[in-house]
Amino acid sequence: MGGLAGWAVRLFGVLLMLSSLGYAAIRAPDRTLESLVPRWAPPPSEFIELGDQVVHLRDEGQQTDPTPLVLLHGTSSSLHTWEGWAEELKKTRRVISFDLPGFGLTGPAVSGDYRDEAYQAFVLAMLDRLKLQHVVLAGNSLGGQIAWQLAALHPERVSALILVDAGGQAVEAQSVPDGFKLAQMPLVRHIAQYVLPRSFIERSVKNVYGDPSKVDGALVDRYFEMTVREGNREALGRRMDQRTPGKFIALLPKIRQPTLILWGARDRLIPIAAARVFAQEIPGSRLVTFETLGHVPQEEDPQATLVPVKTFLESIKDKT
């Protein structure tokens, strides 16, 4: 037996064994938003209402910036992934990041809708809520996927585009984090609502880093606690059920905004071949790769990845 089915059987056996050895040690009940706010949402974090959805938001830097940067995180991540970028970019720009529905402290979508179209609508609604007419849109993984879709579908709102190991293509991963595998299997993910060893999350995070030694305890804490935020585990499963890789791929040649593509050459979730497709299909785009980095290069090495970002932003200053 191989593939996901074989993996599921092995994981199920491991969870049963762990349960028999000590359920209390791996028990991982949902944690309330209120219990997580003190550690993960200090100022400048705030929470705003967007219809019935309460959204975790950070709006930093120069409020007079005519074309703010909006940063979109990836699956099972949160706005914290952009902290290194935001700390530097806010010195000269307005920088906005928020947790997408289903993830981080925003938590599950009230609608239960996790299709790409729902994320597109959510980001547009956030731009309207913040009164942002034109933005530089940057995104990693799922966030990059939604960013390029919006650039093609609503070019009047997106002045420039930064794609960081972006999703949206129907590509075969070289390696998938355990957490993503689990979320695709209803029976096993139901068990994970109650038992989830922290080491399981640690392996998943290390899987997407180019250099796993950079994954420290604080980083694992963040990913673990965002995972067990009330409703997020169920939301991840629903997102996996509703995703449609490659659905919007025909839109890529329609993108006319200045576009910077950043990619970690050690990305095994969305291999670098996908970066070359983006570079080929998006007219006038520029591709920069980082040989030692993985799927979240902006988080793994913010200083190195900011170098081409700053150059790009300076080059388009008079065009946005």
Q: Which residues of 135-170 are buried (b: 16+ CB within 10 A; e: fewer)?
A: bbbbbbbbbbbbbbbbbbbeeebbbbbbbbbbbbbe
Q: Would you tell me how many other CB atoms lie within 10 Å of the CB of residue 314?
A: 10
Reading the block at residue 269, the tokens are: 């979730």
In tens, the pLDDT along 118-167 reads 999 999 999 999 999 999 999 999 999 999 999 999 999 999 999 999 99
The rounded distance, in Å, linking the Cα atoms of 262 and 310 is: 13
Greater confidence (75 vs 10) lies with 75
Length of the chain: 320
How far apart CA 260 and CA 60 sit, in angstroms, is: 22
- Let me know: does 283 contact 291? Beta carbons within 8 Å: no
Lowest mean pLDDT, pick from 24-28, 174-178, 285-289, 300-304: 24-28
What pLDDT, on a 0 to 100 scale, did the predictor assign at position 1? 34
For residue 192, what pLDDT is reported?
A: 60
What percentage of the chain has pLDDT greater than the value 70? 87
pLDDT, residue 12, reads 53
Closest CA to 207 of 237, 244, 179: 179
Categorize the per-residue pLDDT at 20 as very low, low, confident or very high, splitting at 50, 70 and 90. Answer: very low
The model's confidence at residue 38, banded by pLDDT at 50, 70 and 90, is very high
Domains observed in the chain: 26-174+210-315 (3.40.50.1820)
Mean pLDDT of 72-84: 98
190-224 confidence digits (pLDDT tens): 566 666 788 889 999 999 999 999 999 999 999 99
Q: Given the DSSP bridges, would you call strands 135-141 and 69-72 parallel, antiparallel or unpaired?
A: parallel
- Determine contact, residues 270/295, Cβ cutoff 8 Å: yes
Residue 31, CA distances (Å) to 74, 203, 232, 278 in order: 21, 21, 10, 38
Q: What is the Cα–Cα distance from 179 to 196, expressed in whole angstroms?
A: 10
**What is residue 209's three-state secondary structure?**
coil
Residue 124 phi/psi, 5-degree rounding, is -60, -40
Res 117 pLDDT > 80: yes
